[in-house]
Amino acid sequence: MSDELSWKRTKYAAEIDVDDYNTEVTLCGWVQNIRDMGKMAFIQLRDRSGITQVTALSKTMDPEIFKAMTSVSRESVISVHGIIKQSPQARAGWELIPYKMWLLSEAKTPLPLGVVDKVDADMETRLDNRFMDLRKQNIQAIFKIRSTILAAVREVFLEEGFIEIQTPKIVATATEGGTQLFEMKYFDRVAYLNQSPQLFKQTMMATGLDRVFEIGPAFRAEDHDTVRHLNEYTSIDCELSFADLDDALEILEKVIQRSYTEVLNNNFIDLDLLNHSLIAPERPFPRVTYSEVIKKLQTNGMEIRDEKTGAKRTIEWGDDIPLEGFKNIAHDRPSLYFVTEWPMSLKPFYIHPHPDDPEISLGFDLNFGEKELVSGGQRIHEPELLKEMIRKKGMDPEKFSFYTKAFEYGMPPHAGWGLGAERLTMILTNASNVRETVLFPRDKYRLVP
């Protein structure tokens, strides 16, 4: 053994195979557990790929190193150089017999949060100590899957000829209606954090770039505290021109399908850690109209509270579908399905009316059971109609002139959608709370860390 040995990692635990037996390696990570048997000690060394059993034998080691190894605190960061030996008793079929150890960073005791504790800590404690929470393999699994999803999404967009864009997050007006805006000071003016790239991605359709996508933050000052809403989320947006609703749906189906197949191909260990199994959906996804949903809910006796009178009454055409309604629908449709032909009154001003009926829109949602994953639609590209719709929604088209202007000098027909990265991650990881899918969630109560 040379004195020149470096503490730097030569392999991850999961990279060790039979070819490495009887060879020397350096593994780095966190001390998950130590079992000191006197003459022998077992150390569980965890890196992001898995856990290594380090078997230290006092008689074959420098006593100083043996002592250091057995007295190190749990969750300290160490590097261990040694030899890989086949071992039927070890879970991986091999163990690391150490020659040398470097204590790279010692963990204080007690730990703010256990990494291998049987009892689950509550969400607040976990999020307050997220760096520690993320040491758990099943929590890391969620973010490995999230990373695969975003790579798959990007891959499909690039294959389909989309150009990646970044649009401003500091803006002067609302996008998705006047509520739910975070206000901020912008020198001597008021500005807002953008709720969606909507107006900018549509503006790109007037430039001839034709197909654009953006993966970026969106901010919603949602007052309510639910397991589906965040105040900052990652929006996967796209817009395509010389295109209609069907073209937008087809791209979306490809994006969702590829996300499933890539997770199945790359994250089987993570799915296993999460006790989750997936079946990639087939294209095309089923479609159901808003009217069909309403009819079904009426048959099932769904009642809602009337907004004007406050009295309970049967749900009617024109009512928004509450979560309870979608839970009802989810009995028959537990997986992916589109809801199309929503009333114009329930969709934002930029959604195109149906050519056969001005009350019906060319807007859609994609749901997974009761969960809404995506909204989108065919857009209005006619400038006069657009201004009329802005007015109809009680807003001043003058305030949107920066946007409507782009429609007056040649704007092709276009369509697009917005998909919440966290909502998709929830489905592919089986997370029951959207906060599980963000490193540092921002909700009404949480701004730190």
Task: Decide whether 53 or 234 has the Cβ nearer to ligand AMO.
Answer: 234
Cα distance between residue 154 and residue 370, in whole Å: 26
| Residue whose CB is less far from ligand AMO, 30 or 338 | 338
Structure tokens at 421: 């990265």
Residue 123 CB, shortest distance to ligand AMO, in Å, is 16
SS3 state of residue 149: helix
Which of residues 75 and 443 has its CB atom nearest to ligand AMO in the complex?
443
Smallest gap from Cβ 418 to ligand AMO, in A, equals 3
Nearest to ligand AMO of 328, 375 (CB atom): 375
Q: 82 or 416, CB closer to ligand AMO?
A: 416
Complex with ligand AMO: residue 281 or 418, whichever CB lies closer: 418
Sequence-distant (≥ 6) Cβ neighbours of residue 228 within 8 angstroms: 371, 372, 423, 434
Helix (H) or strand (E) holding 429: helix 421-429
Q: Give whichever of 198 and 257 is closer to ligand AMO, judged by the CB atom.
A: 198
Q: Residue 98 or residue 418: which is nearer to ligand AMO going by CB?
A: 418
Least distance to ligand AMO, CB of residue 417, Å: 5
Nearer to ligand AMO, 370 or 422 (CB): 422
Q: How far is the CB of 142 from ligand AMO (least distance, A)?
A: 15
In whole angstroms, the minimum distance from the beta carbon of 423 to ligand AMO comes to 4
Structure tokens at 290: 């808003």
How far, CA to CA in Å, does 203 sit from each of 73, 87, 168, 394, 402? 57, 63, 13, 22, 9
Looking at the Cβ atoms of 46 and 352, the one nearer to ligand AMO is 352
Q: Output the smallest distance, CB 361 to ligand AMO, in A.
A: 11
Nearest distance from residue 442's CB to ligand AMO, in Å?
A: 10
285 Rama sector, left if φ>0, alpha if ψ -120 to 50, beta otherwise:
beta
Point out the residue whose Cβ comes nearest to ligand AMO. 420
Q: In 242-393, where do the E strands start and end?
A: 287-289, 303-305, 312-314, 336-340, 353-354, 357-361, 363-368, 371-378
Alpha carbon distance 177, 174 (integer Å): 6
- Report in angstroms how near the CB of residue 375 gets to ligand AMO at its nearest: 3
Least distance in Å: CB of 366 to ligand AMO? 8
Of all helices (H) and strands (E), which one includes residue 326?
A: helix 323-330
Which residue, chain included where needed, has tokens 């037996």? Answer: 21
Contact 364, 245 (CB under 8 A): yes
d(CA 12, CA 269): 15
Q: How far is the CB of 4 from ligand AMO (least distance, A)?
A: 52
Beta carbons within 8 Å of 1's beta carbon, 6+ residues apart: 81, 99, 100
Contacts of 203 (CB under 8 A, 6+ apart): 403, 406
Amino acid at 16: I
Residues binding ligand AMO (CB under 6 A): 176, 196, 198, 220, 222, 229-230, 233, 235, 237, 372-376, 416-420, 422-423, 434
Residue 254, CA distances (Å) to 258, 285, 441 in order: 6, 10, 28
Which residue, 96 or 374, is less far from ligand AMO as judged by CB? 374
Helix (H, G, I), strand (E, B) or coil at 253: helix
* Burial of 376 from C-beta contacts in 10 A (0-12 / 13-18 / 19+): buried
For residue 182, the minimal CB distance to ligand AMO (Å) is 12
Q: Where are the alpha helices (DSSP H) in 56-186?
A: 63-71, 123-128, 130-133, 137-159
